[in-house]
Chains A and B, each alone.
Chain A
Amino acid sequence: MKPLLFLMGLPIVLFGSQFSVIVSKKAPFSTLSTQQVREIYLLKRHFVGDVKIIPINLVGQDESRSVFESAVLGMDRNRLNDYWVKQHFQGVTPPLTQPSFESIKAFVQNVEGSMGYLPSGMVDSTVKVVYEF
Protein backbone atom coordinates (compact mmCIF):
# COMPACT_ATOMS: atom_id res chain seq x y z
CA MET A 1 0.00 0.00 0.00
CA LYS A 2 2.67 2.53 1.02
CA PRO A 3 4.92 1.87 -2.04
CA LEU A 4 1.84 2.31 -4.23
CA LEU A 5 1.08 5.65 -2.59
CA PHE A 6 4.71 6.69 -3.12
CA LEU A 7 4.48 5.83 -6.82
CA MET A 8 1.18 7.72 -7.09
CA GLY A 9 2.79 10.76 -5.48
CA LEU A 10 6.01 10.67 -7.52
CA PRO A 11 4.60 12.45 -10.65
CA ILE A 12 3.38 15.30 -8.41
CA VAL A 13 6.88 15.79 -7.03
CA LEU A 14 8.45 15.65 -10.51
CA PHE A 15 5.91 17.50 -12.63
CA GLY A 16 3.69 19.48 -10.23
CA SER A 17 0.07 18.78 -9.31
CA GLN A 18 -2.00 16.71 -11.72
CA PHE A 19 -5.40 17.35 -10.20
CA SER A 20 -7.16 20.16 -8.37
CA VAL A 21 -10.00 20.01 -5.88
CA ILE A 22 -12.40 22.81 -6.76
CA VAL A 23 -15.33 24.64 -5.19
CA SER A 24 -17.56 27.52 -6.21
CA LYS A 25 -15.94 30.95 -6.66
CA LYS A 26 -18.30 32.21 -3.92
CA ALA A 27 -17.06 29.73 -1.30
CA PRO A 28 -15.80 31.63 1.78
CA PHE A 29 -12.65 29.48 2.17
CA SER A 30 -9.59 29.17 -0.04
CA THR A 31 -7.53 26.18 1.12
CA LEU A 32 -8.17 22.76 2.63
CA SER A 33 -5.79 20.21 4.10
CA THR A 34 -5.49 16.61 2.86
CA GLN A 35 -7.21 15.51 6.07
CA GLN A 36 -10.15 17.86 5.45
CA VAL A 37 -10.66 16.70 1.85
CA ARG A 38 -10.37 13.09 2.96
CA GLU A 39 -12.92 13.48 5.76
CA ILE A 40 -15.33 15.31 3.44
CA TYR A 41 -15.16 12.58 0.77
CA LEU A 42 -15.53 9.82 3.36
CA LEU A 43 -18.56 11.75 4.69
CA LYS A 44 -17.06 11.98 8.15
CA ARG A 45 -17.35 15.77 7.98
CA HIS A 46 -20.11 17.70 6.25
CA PHE A 47 -19.14 21.32 6.74
CA VAL A 48 -16.32 23.76 6.08
CA GLY A 49 -17.02 26.65 8.39
CA ASP A 50 -20.75 27.25 8.01
CA VAL A 51 -20.94 25.84 4.47
CA LYS A 52 -22.50 22.42 4.04
CA ILE A 53 -20.34 20.58 1.50
CA ILE A 54 -21.61 18.24 -1.23
CA PRO A 55 -18.64 16.16 -2.47
CA ILE A 56 -18.85 14.95 -6.07
CA ASN A 57 -16.91 11.95 -7.36
CA LEU A 58 -16.19 10.67 -10.84
CA VAL A 59 -18.36 7.70 -11.76
CA GLY A 60 -16.96 4.20 -12.37
CA GLN A 61 -13.43 2.89 -12.53
CA ASP A 62 -11.66 5.81 -14.22
CA GLU A 63 -7.92 5.91 -13.51
CA SER A 64 -8.18 9.50 -12.24
CA ARG A 65 -10.57 8.32 -9.58
CA SER A 66 -8.09 5.66 -8.47
CA VAL A 67 -5.38 8.33 -8.25
CA PHE A 68 -7.68 10.48 -6.09
CA GLU A 69 -8.62 7.57 -3.85
CA SER A 70 -5.01 6.51 -3.33
CA ALA A 71 -3.39 9.93 -3.05
CA VAL A 72 -6.04 11.77 -1.03
CA LEU A 73 -8.26 9.19 0.63
CA GLY A 74 -5.31 6.87 1.28
CA MET A 75 -7.29 3.77 0.33
CA ASP A 76 -7.24 1.31 -2.53
CA ARG A 77 -10.49 0.27 -4.22
CA ASN A 78 -10.97 -2.87 -2.08
CA ARG A 79 -10.56 -1.06 1.19
CA LEU A 80 -12.80 1.80 0.06
CA ASN A 81 -15.50 -0.62 -1.02
CA ASP A 82 -15.33 -2.31 2.42
CA TYR A 83 -15.67 1.12 3.99
CA TRP A 84 -18.85 1.96 2.05
CA VAL A 85 -20.41 -1.43 2.82
CA LYS A 86 -19.88 -0.68 6.52
CA GLN A 87 -21.28 2.81 6.05
CA HIS A 88 -24.42 1.35 4.45
CA PHE A 89 -25.15 -0.30 7.81
CA GLN A 90 -24.66 3.14 9.44
CA GLY A 91 -27.13 4.73 7.04
CA VAL A 92 -24.57 6.55 4.90
CA THR A 93 -24.30 6.33 1.11
CA PRO A 94 -21.21 7.27 -0.96
CA PRO A 95 -20.87 10.75 -2.51
CA LEU A 96 -22.83 11.66 -5.62
CA THR A 97 -21.09 10.88 -8.90
CA GLN A 98 -20.92 12.61 -12.27
CA PRO A 99 -20.04 10.95 -15.59
CA SER A 100 -17.23 13.31 -16.66
CA PHE A 101 -14.93 16.08 -15.50
CA GLU A 102 -16.99 18.53 -17.58
CA SER A 103 -20.13 17.63 -15.65
CA ILE A 104 -18.27 17.82 -12.32
CA LYS A 105 -17.12 21.32 -13.24
CA ALA A 106 -20.64 22.37 -14.28
CA PHE A 107 -22.06 20.93 -11.05
CA VAL A 108 -19.56 22.87 -8.94
CA GLN A 109 -20.26 26.07 -10.87
CA ASN A 110 -24.01 25.75 -10.36
CA VAL A 111 -24.56 24.10 -6.97
CA GLU A 112 -23.51 26.05 -3.91
CA GLY A 113 -21.41 24.03 -1.46
CA SER A 114 -20.44 21.36 -4.00
CA MET A 115 -16.85 20.16 -4.33
CA GLY A 116 -15.16 18.13 -7.07
CA TYR A 117 -11.77 17.35 -8.59
CA LEU A 118 -10.44 17.96 -12.10
CA PRO A 119 -7.21 17.67 -14.05
CA SER A 120 -5.41 20.90 -13.18
CA GLY A 121 -5.38 21.85 -16.89
CA MET A 122 -9.18 22.19 -16.86
CA VAL A 123 -9.24 24.77 -14.06
CA ASP A 124 -10.21 28.31 -15.07
CA SER A 125 -11.50 31.46 -13.38
CA THR A 126 -15.05 30.10 -12.97
CA VAL A 127 -14.02 27.85 -10.04
CA LYS A 128 -11.74 28.11 -7.02
CA VAL A 129 -8.92 25.65 -6.30
CA VAL A 130 -8.75 24.67 -2.61
CA TYR A 131 -6.38 21.68 -2.78
CA GLU A 132 -4.01 20.09 -5.29
CA PHE A 133 -2.62 16.59 -5.61
Chain B
Amino acid sequence: MMTIQKMGLLLCLIALVQADSYTLGHGLQVDNMLNVGGYFATEFEFKDKDKIFTLDDVAVMAYGDINPMFSYMAEFEAIGFYQKNFNDGVESSKRQFHAERVYGDVWLSDAYNIRFGKQITPIGYWNKEPINVLRDMTSNPLYSSLLFPKFLTGIDINGYIPAIEGMKYHLFGQKNPDLDDEYINIRNTHFFGLSLEKEISNDYSCGGSIGDYIPLASQRTRFLQANAKYDDSKWQMLSEVLLAKSEYDAGDSDYTLSGYVQGMVRYTPQYAFLGRYEHFNDHHRGSEDNIGIVGFSYRPIYPVSFKGEYQWHSRNDENRALFSFSVLF
Protein backbone atom coordinates (compact mmCIF):
# COMPACT_ATOMS: atom_id res chain seq x y z
CA MET B 1 0.00 0.00 0.00
CA MET B 2 3.01 2.31 0.32
CA THR B 3 3.17 2.25 -3.47
CA ILE B 4 -0.33 3.72 -3.61
CA GLN B 5 0.69 6.54 -1.24
CA LYS B 6 3.70 7.35 -3.39
CA MET B 7 1.55 7.20 -6.51
CA GLY B 8 -0.95 9.65 -5.00
CA LEU B 9 1.79 12.07 -3.96
CA LEU B 10 3.33 11.82 -7.42
CA LEU B 11 -0.01 12.60 -9.05
CA CYS B 12 -0.43 15.65 -6.80
CA LEU B 13 3.06 16.89 -7.62
CA ILE B 14 2.51 16.46 -11.37
CA ALA B 15 -0.77 18.33 -11.09
CA LEU B 16 0.73 21.17 -9.05
CA VAL B 17 3.48 21.64 -11.60
CA GLN B 18 1.23 21.52 -14.64
CA ALA B 19 -2.04 23.07 -13.54
CA ASP B 20 -2.79 26.53 -14.98
CA SER B 21 -5.08 27.62 -12.21
CA TYR B 22 -6.58 26.16 -9.08
CA THR B 23 -9.81 26.80 -7.23
CA LEU B 24 -10.29 25.20 -3.82
CA GLY B 25 -12.90 22.47 -4.03
CA HIS B 26 -12.62 21.98 -7.76
CA GLY B 27 -9.41 19.95 -7.91
CA LEU B 28 -6.38 20.43 -10.07
CA GLN B 29 -7.06 19.91 -13.75
CA VAL B 30 -3.92 18.82 -15.53
CA ASP B 31 -5.81 17.98 -18.71
CA ASN B 32 -9.03 16.15 -19.62
CA MET B 33 -7.44 12.83 -18.71
CA LEU B 34 -6.25 13.83 -15.25
CA ASN B 35 -7.91 15.81 -12.49
CA VAL B 36 -6.51 15.47 -9.00
CA GLY B 37 -8.12 16.29 -5.69
CA GLY B 38 -8.60 15.06 -2.18
CA TYR B 39 -10.06 15.83 1.19
CA PHE B 40 -9.52 15.51 4.91
CA ALA B 41 -11.66 15.76 8.00
CA THR B 42 -10.87 16.30 11.67
CA GLU B 43 -13.30 15.57 14.44
CA PHE B 44 -13.56 16.36 18.15
CA GLU B 45 -15.87 14.15 20.19
CA PHE B 46 -16.98 14.92 23.75
CA LYS B 47 -18.72 11.95 25.38
CA ASP B 48 -18.86 11.47 29.15
CA LYS B 49 -15.27 11.92 30.29
CA ASP B 50 -13.76 11.18 26.89
CA LYS B 51 -12.41 13.98 24.75
CA ILE B 52 -11.24 12.47 21.49
CA PHE B 53 -9.53 14.19 18.57
CA THR B 54 -9.43 12.32 15.26
CA LEU B 55 -7.85 13.16 11.93
CA ASP B 56 -10.44 10.91 10.42
CA ASP B 57 -10.31 10.91 6.63
CA VAL B 58 -7.32 11.65 4.48
CA ALA B 59 -7.92 10.90 0.84
CA VAL B 60 -6.52 11.57 -2.61
CA MET B 61 -8.44 11.04 -5.81
CA ALA B 62 -7.79 11.21 -9.54
CA TYR B 63 -10.27 11.11 -12.39
CA GLY B 64 -10.61 12.01 -16.03
CA ASP B 65 -11.86 11.20 -19.49
CA ILE B 66 -9.75 8.74 -21.45
CA ASN B 67 -11.89 9.46 -24.52
CA PRO B 68 -15.49 10.69 -25.09
CA MET B 69 -16.80 7.19 -24.30
CA PHE B 70 -14.72 6.23 -21.28
CA SER B 71 -13.83 7.89 -17.98
CA TYR B 72 -12.35 6.69 -14.70
CA MET B 73 -12.18 7.49 -10.98
CA ALA B 74 -9.59 6.32 -8.44
CA GLU B 75 -9.72 7.30 -4.78
CA PHE B 76 -7.50 6.12 -1.95
CA GLU B 77 -8.29 6.88 1.66
CA ALA B 78 -6.89 6.41 5.15
CA ILE B 79 -9.53 6.40 7.90
CA GLY B 80 -8.48 7.01 11.50
CA PHE B 81 -5.23 8.56 10.27
CA TYR B 82 -4.48 9.85 13.78
CA GLN B 83 -6.45 9.73 17.02
CA LYS B 84 -5.82 10.95 20.54
CA ASN B 85 -7.97 10.53 23.62
CA PHE B 86 -7.17 13.47 25.91
CA ASN B 87 -8.73 11.67 28.88
CA ASP B 88 -6.23 8.82 29.03
CA GLY B 89 -3.57 10.14 26.63
CA VAL B 90 -3.83 7.12 24.32
CA GLU B 91 -2.81 7.81 20.72
CA SER B 92 -3.31 5.63 17.64
CA SER B 93 -2.86 5.98 13.93
CA LYS B 94 -3.65 4.03 10.78
CA ARG B 95 -1.70 5.53 7.93
CA GLN B 96 -2.31 2.89 5.30
CA PHE B 97 -4.30 4.05 2.30
CA HIS B 98 -6.94 1.74 0.88
CA ALA B 99 -8.92 1.76 -2.35
CA GLU B 100 -12.16 3.61 -1.63
CA ARG B 101 -13.34 3.91 -5.22
CA VAL B 102 -11.75 2.48 -8.36
CA TYR B 103 -14.10 2.38 -11.32
CA GLY B 104 -14.58 3.09 -14.99
CA ASP B 105 -17.59 4.57 -16.79
CA VAL B 106 -18.63 3.63 -20.31
CA TRP B 107 -20.88 6.36 -21.74
CA LEU B 108 -23.12 4.84 -24.38
CA SER B 109 -26.21 7.06 -24.28
CA ASP B 110 -28.29 9.01 -21.77
CA ALA B 111 -30.42 5.91 -21.30
CA TYR B 112 -27.70 3.32 -20.95
CA ASN B 113 -24.30 3.66 -19.29
CA ILE B 114 -22.13 1.18 -17.46
CA ARG B 115 -20.04 1.77 -14.33
CA PHE B 116 -17.77 -1.10 -13.32
CA GLY B 117 -15.41 -1.54 -10.37
CA LYS B 118 -15.54 -0.49 -6.72
CA GLN B 119 -18.04 2.33 -6.38
CA ILE B 120 -20.45 3.98 -3.95
CA THR B 121 -23.78 2.14 -3.89
CA PRO B 122 -26.26 4.43 -5.71
CA ILE B 123 -28.93 4.52 -3.01
CA GLY B 124 -30.62 7.62 -1.58
CA TYR B 125 -28.90 10.93 -0.86
CA TRP B 126 -26.65 10.44 2.15
CA ASN B 127 -24.80 7.45 0.80
CA LYS B 128 -23.88 9.17 -2.45
CA GLU B 129 -22.18 12.13 -0.72
CA PRO B 130 -20.71 10.36 2.29
CA ILE B 131 -17.69 12.53 3.11
CA ASN B 132 -17.69 14.99 6.00
CA VAL B 133 -17.07 18.14 3.98
CA LEU B 134 -20.10 17.57 1.72
CA ARG B 135 -22.43 16.76 4.59
CA ASP B 136 -24.19 19.39 6.63
CA MET B 137 -23.86 17.43 9.87
CA THR B 138 -20.77 15.77 11.28
CA SER B 139 -22.47 12.52 12.22
CA ASN B 140 -23.95 10.00 9.82
CA PRO B 141 -27.40 8.61 10.49
CA LEU B 142 -27.32 4.95 11.57
CA TYR B 143 -29.50 4.34 8.54
CA SER B 144 -26.55 5.09 6.26
CA SER B 145 -24.03 2.72 7.78
CA LEU B 146 -25.81 -0.34 9.18
CA LEU B 147 -28.52 -1.39 6.78
CA PHE B 148 -27.05 -1.90 3.30
CA PRO B 149 -23.55 -2.18 1.79
CA LYS B 150 -22.24 1.36 1.26
CA PHE B 151 -19.92 0.16 -1.48
CA LEU B 152 -20.33 -2.16 -4.41
CA THR B 153 -17.63 -3.99 -6.32
CA GLY B 154 -19.52 -4.85 -9.45
CA ILE B 155 -21.56 -3.30 -12.24
CA ASP B 156 -24.07 -0.46 -12.21
CA ILE B 157 -26.09 -0.01 -15.39
CA ASN B 158 -27.59 3.46 -15.22
CA GLY B 159 -29.25 6.21 -17.19
CA TYR B 160 -32.43 8.19 -17.74
CA ILE B 161 -35.64 6.31 -18.47
CA PRO B 162 -36.57 7.69 -21.93
CA ALA B 163 -40.34 7.84 -21.42
CA ILE B 164 -40.26 9.67 -18.06
CA GLU B 165 -38.71 13.15 -17.81
CA GLY B 166 -36.11 13.49 -15.06
CA MET B 167 -36.30 9.84 -13.96
CA LYS B 168 -32.97 8.08 -13.52
CA TYR B 169 -32.38 4.40 -12.80
CA HIS B 170 -29.50 2.31 -11.43
CA LEU B 171 -29.53 -1.46 -11.85
CA PHE B 172 -26.57 -2.80 -9.94
CA GLY B 173 -25.04 -6.06 -8.87
CA GLN B 174 -22.07 -7.70 -7.18
CA LYS B 175 -21.28 -11.41 -7.27
CA ASN B 176 -17.70 -11.42 -6.01
CA PRO B 177 -15.64 -10.30 -3.01
CA ASP B 178 -15.00 -6.59 -2.48
CA LEU B 179 -12.00 -5.09 -4.26
CA ASP B 180 -10.62 -3.72 -0.98
CA ASP B 181 -12.72 -4.60 2.05
CA GLU B 182 -10.87 -2.53 4.67
CA TYR B 183 -13.61 0.10 5.03
CA ILE B 184 -16.54 -2.03 3.91
CA ASN B 185 -19.48 -1.82 6.33
CA ILE B 186 -21.14 -5.08 5.22
CA ARG B 187 -18.84 -7.59 3.54
CA ASN B 188 -20.64 -9.71 1.00
CA THR B 189 -20.33 -11.63 -2.24
CA HIS B 190 -23.94 -11.16 -3.32
CA PHE B 191 -25.62 -7.80 -3.65
CA PHE B 192 -28.22 -6.82 -6.22
CA GLY B 193 -30.53 -3.85 -6.40
CA LEU B 194 -32.56 -1.34 -8.37
CA SER B 195 -32.66 2.34 -7.53
CA LEU B 196 -34.86 5.06 -9.05
CA GLU B 197 -34.60 8.82 -8.58
CA LYS B 198 -36.94 11.46 -9.91
CA GLU B 199 -36.02 15.12 -10.16
CA ILE B 200 -39.41 16.80 -9.95
CA SER B 201 -38.03 20.35 -10.20
CA ASN B 202 -34.91 22.33 -9.25
CA ASP B 203 -36.01 22.11 -5.64
CA TYR B 204 -37.87 18.80 -5.27
CA SER B 205 -36.68 15.24 -5.81
CA CYS B 206 -37.57 11.79 -4.57
CA GLY B 207 -36.58 8.19 -5.11
CA GLY B 208 -36.56 4.65 -3.88
CA SER B 209 -34.61 1.41 -3.99
CA ILE B 210 -34.99 -2.31 -3.53
CA GLY B 211 -32.11 -4.63 -2.83
CA ASP B 212 -30.96 -8.06 -1.76
CA TYR B 213 -27.64 -8.96 -0.15
CA ILE B 214 -26.03 -11.92 1.58
CA PRO B 215 -23.43 -10.85 4.15
CA LEU B 216 -20.56 -13.18 4.98
CA ALA B 217 -22.43 -13.89 8.22
CA SER B 218 -25.20 -16.48 7.91
CA GLN B 219 -27.92 -14.05 6.91
CA ARG B 220 -29.81 -12.86 3.84
CA THR B 221 -31.36 -9.40 3.79
CA ARG B 222 -33.86 -7.82 1.44
CA PHE B 223 -34.69 -4.14 1.77
CA LEU B 224 -37.04 -1.45 0.56
CA GLN B 225 -35.88 2.17 0.76
CA ALA B 226 -37.42 5.58 -0.02
CA ASN B 227 -36.07 9.13 0.00
CA ALA B 228 -37.36 12.66 -0.60
CA LYS B 229 -35.71 16.08 -0.63
CA TYR B 230 -36.69 19.74 -0.84
CA ASP B 231 -33.80 22.14 -1.32
CA ASP B 232 -33.96 25.80 -2.28
CA SER B 233 -31.32 28.41 -1.56
CA LYS B 234 -32.55 28.88 2.01
CA TRP B 235 -34.30 25.73 3.24
CA GLN B 236 -33.53 22.06 2.94
CA MET B 237 -35.61 19.11 4.11
CA LEU B 238 -34.18 15.65 3.69
CA SER B 239 -35.68 12.32 4.62
CA GLU B 240 -34.79 8.69 4.03
CA VAL B 241 -36.37 5.52 5.37
CA LEU B 242 -35.49 1.85 5.00
CA LEU B 243 -37.29 -1.36 5.93
CA ALA B 244 -35.22 -4.54 5.82
CA LYS B 245 -36.19 -8.16 6.36
CA SER B 246 -33.39 -10.56 7.25
CA GLU B 247 -33.51 -14.35 7.20
CA TYR B 248 -31.04 -16.27 9.32
CA ASP B 249 -29.58 -19.75 8.96
CA ALA B 250 -31.37 -20.84 12.10
CA GLY B 251 -34.61 -20.43 10.15
CA ASP B 252 -35.87 -17.32 11.86
CA SER B 253 -36.39 -13.92 10.31
CA ASP B 254 -36.82 -10.38 11.59
CA TYR B 255 -37.30 -6.76 10.56
CA THR B 256 -35.19 -3.66 10.85
CA LEU B 257 -36.72 -0.22 10.41
CA SER B 258 -34.72 2.95 10.23
CA GLY B 259 -35.28 6.45 8.99
CA TYR B 260 -34.40 10.05 9.56
CA VAL B 261 -35.69 13.49 8.75
CA GLN B 262 -33.27 16.43 8.68
CA GLY B 263 -34.08 20.10 8.30
CA MET B 264 -31.69 22.94 7.58
CA VAL B 265 -32.10 26.69 7.31
CA ARG B 266 -29.32 28.67 5.69
CA TYR B 267 -29.21 31.94 7.62
CA THR B 268 -26.69 33.20 5.07
CA PRO B 269 -24.84 31.20 2.38
CA GLN B 270 -22.13 30.64 5.03
CA TYR B 271 -24.18 29.90 8.19
CA ALA B 272 -26.77 27.20 8.61
CA PHE B 273 -28.68 25.69 11.53
CA LEU B 274 -29.84 22.11 11.47
CA GLY B 275 -31.95 19.58 13.28
CA ARG B 276 -32.32 15.85 12.73
CA TYR B 277 -34.47 13.13 14.21
CA GLU B 278 -33.61 9.49 13.59
CA HIS B 279 -35.29 6.25 14.56
CA PHE B 280 -33.47 2.94 14.41
CA ASN B 281 -34.84 -0.45 15.43
CA ASP B 282 -33.13 -3.76 14.69
CA HIS B 283 -35.61 -6.26 16.16
CA HIS B 284 -33.26 -9.22 15.79
CA ARG B 285 -30.49 -7.69 17.86
CA GLY B 286 -32.84 -5.83 20.14
CA SER B 287 -31.06 -2.63 19.20
CA GLU B 288 -33.28 0.43 19.28
CA ASP B 289 -32.43 4.10 19.45
CA ASN B 290 -34.16 7.42 18.91
CA ILE B 291 -31.76 10.25 18.26
CA GLY B 292 -32.40 13.97 18.25
CA ILE B 293 -29.65 16.29 17.03
CA VAL B 294 -29.23 20.04 16.75
CA GLY B 295 -26.26 21.56 15.02
CA PHE B 296 -24.72 24.41 13.10
CA SER B 297 -22.63 24.64 9.97
CA TYR B 298 -20.25 27.39 8.94
CA ARG B 299 -18.69 27.39 5.48
CA PRO B 300 -16.51 30.45 4.78
CA ILE B 301 -16.42 28.98 1.29
CA TYR B 302 -18.30 25.84 0.33
CA PRO B 303 -15.37 23.37 0.28
CA VAL B 304 -14.29 24.41 3.81
CA SER B 305 -16.64 23.25 6.54
CA PHE B 306 -16.84 23.85 10.30
CA LYS B 307 -19.65 22.00 12.01
CA GLY B 308 -20.89 21.35 15.50
CA GLU B 309 -23.75 19.27 16.92
CA TYR B 310 -25.16 17.79 20.08
CA GLN B 311 -26.89 14.40 20.08
CA TRP B 312 -29.54 13.16 22.50
CA HIS B 313 -30.06 9.41 22.40
CA SER B 314 -32.84 7.37 23.96
CA ARG B 315 -29.89 5.30 25.18
CA ASN B 316 -28.64 7.95 27.57
CA ASP B 317 -25.04 6.79 27.65
CA GLU B 318 -24.68 7.61 23.95
CA ASN B 319 -25.25 11.37 24.27
CA ARG B 320 -22.34 13.35 22.86
CA ALA B 321 -21.12 16.56 21.26
CA LEU B 322 -19.23 16.54 17.97
CA PHE B 323 -17.25 19.23 16.22
CA SER B 324 -15.48 18.89 12.90
CA PHE B 325 -13.36 20.75 10.40
CA SER B 326 -13.03 19.44 6.86
CA VAL B 327 -11.73 20.58 3.50
CA LEU B 328 -12.17 19.37 -0.06
CA PHE B 329 -9.34 20.34 -2.35
A residues contacting B by CB (< 8 A) are 1, 35, 45-47, 50, 52, 74-76, 78-79, 81-82, 84-86, 88-89, 91, 93-94
Contact = CB atoms under 8 A, between A and B. Distances in A.
Given A46-B110, A47-B110, A79-B233, 19 more contacts: A47-B109, A50-B109, A52-B68, A52-B107, A75-B202, A76-B233, A85-B25, A85-B302, A86-B129, A88-B35, A88-B37, A89-B39, A89-B61, A89-B131, A89-B134, A89-B328, A91-B72, A93-B26, A93-B29
A41 B243 CA distance: 36
Contact of B25 (A35, A88, A91): A88
A79 B303 CA distance: 13
B269 interface: yes
A45 B302 contact: no
Contacts of A86: 129, 134
Interface of B is mostly: loop
B77 to A, nearest CB: 12
Nearest to B160: A45
B165 interface: yes
Contacts of B109: 47, 50
A85 B134 CA distance: 9
B232 to A, nearest CB: 6
Nearest to B64: A91
Interface in B280-307: 302-303
A74 B328 contact: no
A86 B128 CA distance: 10
A86 B305 CA distance: 13
Contacts, number: 56
Interface residues of B, number: 30
B63 interface: yes
B73 interface: yes
Nearest to A83: B302
B18 to A, nearest CB: 15
Contacts of A79: 233
B71 interface: yes
B166 interface: yes
A111 B91 CA distance: 57
A85 B73 contact: no
B71 A91 contact: yes
A47 B69 CA distance: 12
A86 B302 CA distance: 9
A45 B302 CA distance: 25
Contacts of A84: 26
A61 to B, nearest CB: 13
B131 A35 contact: no
B27 interface: yes
B12 to A, nearest CB: 15
Nearest to A92: B63
Contacts of A93: 26-27, 29, 35
B303 A74 contact: no
B110 A45 contact: yes
B26 A46 contact: no
Interface in B15-70: 25-27, 29, 35, 37, 39, 61, 63, 68
A74 to B, nearest CB: 4
Given A52-B68, A84-B26, A88-B25, A78 B328 contact: no
